[in-house]
Chain A
Amino acid sequence: MKPTTIITAPERIPLRRFLIASTAAITLALQSSPSLAGEAYPTAKVNTTGLAVTDDTVTVGQLHSATGTMAISETGSIQAEQLAIDQINASGGVLGRKIKVIVEDGASDWPTFAEKAKKLLVNDKVASVFGCWTSASRKAVLPVFEKENGMLYYPTFYEGLEQSKNVIYTGQEATQQILAGLDWIAKEKKAKSFYLIGSDYIWPRTSSKIARKHIENVLKGTVVGEEYYALGHTQFGSLINKIKLKKPDVIYAIIVGGSNVSFYKQLKAAGITSDKWTVLTISVTEDEVLGIGGENLAGFYSSMKYFQSLDNPNNKAFVEAFKSKYGAKSVIGDVTQAGYLGPWLWKLAVEKAGSFDIDKIAAASPGIEFTQAPEGYVKVHPNHHLWSKLRIGQWGVEGQAKVLYESGLIEPDPFPKGYQ
């Protein structure tokens, strides 16, 4: 205020005094502009627990597998999280602070994940961590996050049966991904008999359990076969013979990783194609299709909350930004999009809480709505999972899905009654 009065009446003030006064005014202005955030949100007030927050930066961690067998799956999440952080920084940061990232490599090895999580929380005092992909890596770091009171944004769709103050699950838990999809296929294809196939670990097993209960108790159908194969298994010949014998209406596949490629190629070679058979999977996203090849999947269905082909303005902007940063050939799968939600949901939680303190953002998270989400709209539930929709996509030869069905918003229910 004062400087303006001085400057509006320059003719009455000698030059020397004018110069001194205006220099003082400029200095004042220079001092006040960077501390704008500092004044509204002084560091001492927004960070009472010693996190890595300064007057103009806040440090977060990113913990995925950049190397090892999981790197191929986790790269998409790494990229999407970095894109979100860049966008947040470009739009002014969080509480006026730019986000700095410390990247750690979990190396597809669970003890390494635990070690790096501890390093990020104890040594680097990061305000939040975006990371993990497999259930095993999340299980390995969970005790660390609970003990050291950190905050993890976990992007993968997973089996549920978990809920923690220190984790926000931005992917779907099993019932969100499974039930509506089964309802749709039962109605659309008049399906009564199902063949469940999965990789042998907790997510496919839990998902099959939920699917079986829903098929038997709600849809009044039958499960004609349920089988599991070790991760990395590549010989599906005998399974395909059994499928041909049982002739299920729907083949429900939860095969992950490299096994996917041999599974779908062998299905096609054995004549199990979409003209006579229905295959519904919850484990194939655009990323997997890149490896499997669209021609081996053409006409099969995936049930996911997100497909790259979603037609809405948020998603168009997201896909364009992603491709301009990572190349026109890059594809975006369900987990990549969920990874993108992490930094944004964290920013919203911090702003709602007016603080970086973990306890405060954990408490502030429920009820947060993110309307700019590429998947359309999400809202954080008190159980730290997201309200989200389910979509059924049908794969085309070019590797993109045509969205045939979209459910309403589904409430997350990590401990589903009647499905355990």
Chain B
Amino acid sequence: MKAIYNRLFGGTTGVVQLGILAAILMIVLPLSLDIFRLNLVGKYLTYAFVALGLVLLWGKAGVLSLGQGVFFGLGGYCMAMFLKLEASDPISTKIQSTPGIPDFMDWNQITQLPAFWMPFKSLPFTLLAVVVVPSIVAFVLGVAMFKRRVGGVYFAIITQALALILSLAIDGNQGYTGGRNGITDLRTLLGWDIRSSHAQYLLYFTTCGLLVLAIVLSQWMLSGKLGKMLLAMRDREDRVRFSGYDVSMFKVFTFCFAAALSGVGGALFVLQVGFISPSLVGIVPSIEMVIFAAVGGRVSLLGAVYGTLLVNTGKSLFSENFPQLWLFAMGGLFIAVVVLFPNGLAGVVELIRKKVSPFLKNLRTSSTLPTSGSTPLPSPDKP
């Protein structure tokens, strides 16, 4: 029991840290923000799913993917297809030449719903697809790359190419995908208006809940054999391979898991924002998401969440107050983080704890001199 608890939460420190994050997200923010700002935070949190995946993939396994936007987009598109079909019932689309199909298909002289859209009439299939479709793409790419021992810069370039290919493919087939405009004007989920503030509260809490679940799941994976394997591979891949392990399949698994997380994030994004477009799939958002993870600290799961929140809040606030200059401010923030705190926010917190905890320890030992041996404060170096 104790072992499971430790693995899921990473001991008492982990529970406290996760508790703080959950309290901020689910109590402090909803009480202090209006629904508009809270909805924005909800949108940022969907990016945090991608950042979590990047921590596993990049921070732990040492594989940098610059194409995570692809999986975010695939999850988002799956969800958007379902919502669009629901919004395109024959009555509300009666102005079209072919009622009952999404409006952009009608504009492109498509008269019948394409076969690959058909299954997305079913919600269970859609929810499954949100996780499975990104995983399958990641699996195929992962097997093709990692089995051939392609890694490092080459892998990053290939993932970037994938992002470009997918955004071009969506752009170029606008009759089937909505093209550059994307899939827009999504209103209801099973008749439930996702744009009402009631729905937005519920979706926000769902996002928070799923995010905490994703953190716990990732924590559990990292604390087991897989986590140790990933670390070993990151630092000395050859030795792991020579010890008889199939290194590539561990990487493929992590890649797929990160992709599935991103897909869930994408689906939640669509539910909260109400549309998806290829601009969320391409190279720029993929790199932005790497920045979120880097600012938060690429080896820390919670750091990635805070990093995502910080960068996006900064983006919104800077751009509202300095519409002409905000990009410079964002650029400055990134440079400052990379130069001053190479381990991101998590690195800063760690540094503070290292500085403060001996001080606290001293304080405690000086006040209760006889029991200097037992230190109730966890040392940061403890695994």
Contact = CB atoms under 8 A, between A and B. Distances in A.
A66 B108 CA distance: 32
Contacts of A116: 319-320
A202 B106 CA distance: 12
Contacts of A228: 172
A201 B279 contact: no
B36 A109 contact: no
Contacts of B326: 67, 105
B279 A109 contact: yes
A200 B319 contact: no
A105 B36 contact: no
Given A67-B326, A143-B195, A161-B107, A110 B182 contact: yes
Interface residues of B, number: 38
A201 B180 CA distance: 6
Interface string A27-66: 0000000000000000000000000000000000000001
Contacts of B182: 110, 136, 139-140
Interface residues of A, number: 37
A415 interface: yes
Interface in B270-314: 273-275, 277, 279-280
B179 A202 contact: yes
Interface stretch (A117-125, A306-314, A340-348): A117-125
B316 A115 contact: yes
Interface string A119-140: 1001100000000000110011
A143 B324 CA distance: 26
B43 interface: yes
Interface string A207-237: 0010000000000000000001011000000
Contacts of A122: 36
B362 to A, nearest CB: 48
Contacts of A123: 34, 36
Nearest to A62: B323
Contacts of B174: 200-202, 205
A230 B327 CA distance: 27
Contacts of A110: 182, 275, 277, 279
A262 interface: no
Nearest to A122: B36
Contacts of A140: 182, 184, 275, 277
Interface string B159-202: 00000000010011010000111101111000000010000000
Contacts of B195: 143, 147
Contact of A139 (B171, B185, B187, B316): B185
A79 interface: no
B330 to A, nearest CB: 10
Given A143-B187, A143-B275, A202 B181 contact: yes
A361 interface: no
Contacts of A103: 323
Nearest to B187: A143
Interface in B20-36: 34, 36
A21 interface: no
A202 B275 contact: no
B162 to A, nearest CB: 16
A111 interface: yes
Contacts of A118: 36, 39
B118 to A, nearest CB: 24
A209 B109 contact: yes
A104 interface: yes
Nearest to B104: A202
A284 interface: no
Interface of A: 66-67, 103-105, 107, 109-112, 114-116, 118-119, 122-123, 135-136, 139-140, 142-143, 147, 159, 161, 200-202, 205-206, 209, 228, 230-231, 415, 420
24 contacts: A66-B323, A66-B324, A67-B327, A111-B275, A112-B319, A115-B316, A116-B320, A135-B180, A135-B181, A136-B279, A139-B182, A140-B277, A142-B185, A143-B185, A143-B195, A147-B195, A161-B103, A201-B181, A202-B104, A202-B181, A205-B174, A228-B172, A230-B172, A231-B180
Given A139-B184, A209-B109, A415-B95, 10 more contacts: A104-B320, A111-B279, A115-B40, A123-B36, A136-B180, A136-B182, A140-B277, A143-B185, A200-B171, A202-B104
Q: Which 8 A-B pairs have the closest CB atoms?
A: A105-B323, A201-B180, A139-B184, A136-B181, A122-B36, A139-B181, A103-B323, A143-B185
